[in-house]
Structure 1
């Protein structure tokens, strides 16, 4: 009896040691693994569509990986390269711009305390530092990029091919009643979809359209401004008006009336309404996520995971809430 108890303690200790070593082993590539699982979930409906016509799961997964490389990774690398250039260009442009034409619109009682030049330059400086601080996380060395992408695509391939089996096995291994297990997995899928489609995809659409209208109107550095608008759109209580309202006013104050009016109309009738029209359709039957969770997740995620934390932060918090709710329900019964 005593030997049996000692054996159990030994196995538990051995398990904890190797679990600790496993965590140390995985930590350097944990972001690539998590990102792979998130992207696999986001693109899983497209994988199922391909698999409907291409019966081989492995071949369907390979096609999906190739499409992601061609449609997302390569264009994304080009955009990041342009973004870095336009970040410096925007800051230089603001430093050299004469804001005296704007200061004359400031009321006299504020003229001593408000200086458009100082204010706007300070904002651009902070945005520039944000991008400079977090783009190394996106770029890194060539070796880090290649290793990260290899691991990400490797995990994605098997997540596409064997995702159904993984979910089924996890469901069987969870120490919960079967009805709670199925609800837990279902709710996990819903909140993940709510974050990815309701906030991330909506923010990308707003940033793309914002950058596009800047490009069409000939406003400098549209990729930079589109990127900033996408980030702001993902953060509750902020949004794209922080960029396009001042931009349209600057165009009006500097005599570019047509540009300013078009930008205001586009912002009020298109960009703002994306939240009201497109977001509910993208979320659909998926779970809505509280804005406070998104806000805390984005800010905290940036600090912990770097740039990818914009996606991972809110996702981790929402999944934690779902898991805590169901485990509390399980222990109550």
Structure 2
């Protein structure tokens, strides 16, 4: 009789576990249309909930007011500038597209100027590989740029046509951000205690998740914004067409460790040099190397800390794969998945090591749940 009850209890437990998985998958499917909005709402809460808690403490515990102040600050600092930037990109993309189609911007002539400025030995090498067919270059390169601008305009137009969906997604993000800013610590504790993991493993993975999200936002987004802003200002000051678009592209490519902003400013400097504008070419090279390029070396270690950084090759692969799979959201999702992958396998290695030490008779320290929680808190307070 006891064995039957035990078997029935096990069957019920398995059934409940299956139910939990199915309901969780159904909830994820339900949230899929607003996945990006939910993601950015969670990211905003992770980044600014500690600030909200400090502000509420100084306001005698008025968490509603504190969350409202932080939320309005986020709208003013991030949401509004992003919308204005999108409008500027559309305007510049339209102007560039019109100049390319009308022939005012001739890529064949640009390539010919660059080739004319090359040494004779390099020109012979270019000729041997058949790269002196300027009409073909103009057609291929111009077609690529034109299709790219059409894609940008088409995406923005689709956003405009789906304005209701965009407004709904923005509303979901801000609404979720408000409640997570106000009650994020309570919801976080609910999630933490609900995870079916050992205390030390659970707390370690949660801290890895939080550290990577904060490191990605501080050390990647801030650096990208600063580098893109400096690049856009530089190109605008030099009178280069499409300064806003080039600045945005520099910010985007700064997300990729092995590529960086040089993929934009180096060709521009080469063109200015070939066109005989030595001063502007020198300014672009100087600013690209010693100002824009140094931002990454100076800001990233300060904002992130060397101990929390993933290897550059992991960041590159995870970011590219994340962007390919999840779009713009992927530059957060990719590194987070990579970091959790490394953390899980580190936990697996530590557990195997501990079992080996137990089998060999070595004393293994036992960590209680309270001790694990304290260690996790210290890891957040002193990540480096």
Q: How far, CA to CA, are the matches of 2:154 and 2:348 in structure 1?
A: 38
Q: How far, CA to CA, are the matches of 1:290 and 1:123 in structure 2?
A: 33
The verdict on how the C-alpha distance between 1:39 and 1:138 changes in structure 2, with shifts beyond 3 A counting, is: farther
Correspondences of 1:235-254 after superposition (within 5 Å): 235-254=256-275
Q: How far, CA to CA, are the matches of 2:200 and 2:313 in structure 1?
A: 30
Q: Give the match for residue 103 of structure 1.
A: 115
Q: Which has the larger radius of gyration?
A: 2
The verdict on how the C-alpha distance between 1:50 and 1:134 changes in structure 2, with shifts beyond 3 A counting, is: farther
Q: Any idea what the Cα deviations from partners look like across 1:263-305, whole Å, max 9, x if unmatched?
A: 1111111111112111111113661112222222222222322
Q: Give the match for residue 155 of structure 1.
A: 176
Q: Could you tell me how far 1:12 is from its partner in structure 2?
A: 4.3
Q: How far, CA to CA, are the matches of 2:319 and 2:157 in structure 1?
A: 18
Q: How far, CA to CA, are the matches of 2:69 and 2:22 in structure 1?
A: 40
Q: Give the match for residue 20 of structure 1.
A: 25
The verdict on how the C-alpha distance between 1:103 and 1:13 changes in structure 2, with shifts beyond 3 A counting, is: closer
**Is 315-324 or 202-211 further displaced after alignment?**
315-324
Q: Any idea what the Cα deviations from partners look like across 1:222-256, whole Å, max 9, x if unmatched?
A: 11001111111101210111111221222232232
Q: Secondary structure at the match of 1:114?
A: coil
Q: Secondary structure at the match of 2:308?
A: coil
Q: How far, CA to CA, are the matches of 1:256 and 1:153 in structure 2?
A: 48
Correspondences of 1:70-81 after superposition (within 5 Å): 70-81=76-87
**Is 151-160 or 8-17 further displaced after alignment?**
8-17
Preserved contact between residue 134 and residue 306 of structure 1 (Cα < 8 Å): no
Pairwise CA RMSD: 3.0
**Is 226-235 or 285-294 further displaced after alignment?**
285-294
Q: Any idea what the Cα deviations from partners look like across 1:54-90, whole Å, max 9, x if unmatched?
A: 3411211111111111221111111112212323433
The verdict on how the C-alpha distance between 1:87 and 1:328 changes in structure 2, with shifts beyond 3 A counting, is: farther
Correspondences of 1:1-333 after superposition (within 5 Å): 1=5, 4=9, 7-8=12-13, 10-54=15-59, 55-93=61-99, 96-97=105-106, 98-99=109-110, 100-106=112-118, 107=120, 108-112=123-127, 113-115=130-132, 118=138, 121=142, 124-125=145-146, 128=149, 131=152, 141-284=162-305, 287-326=308-347, 329=350
Q: Any idea what the Cα deviations from partners look like across 1:70-122, whole Å, max 9, x if unmatched?
A: 22111111111221232343355456333233331234303433357547546
Question: Structure 2 length as normaliser, TM-score?
Answer: 0.76
Q: Secondary structure at the match of 2:260?
A: coil
Q: Any idea what the Cα deviations from partners look like across 1:286-331, whole Å, max 9, x if unmatched?
A: 6111222222222222232222222332223223432443366457
| Structure 2: gaps of 5 or more residues | 356-384
Give the paired residue count: 333
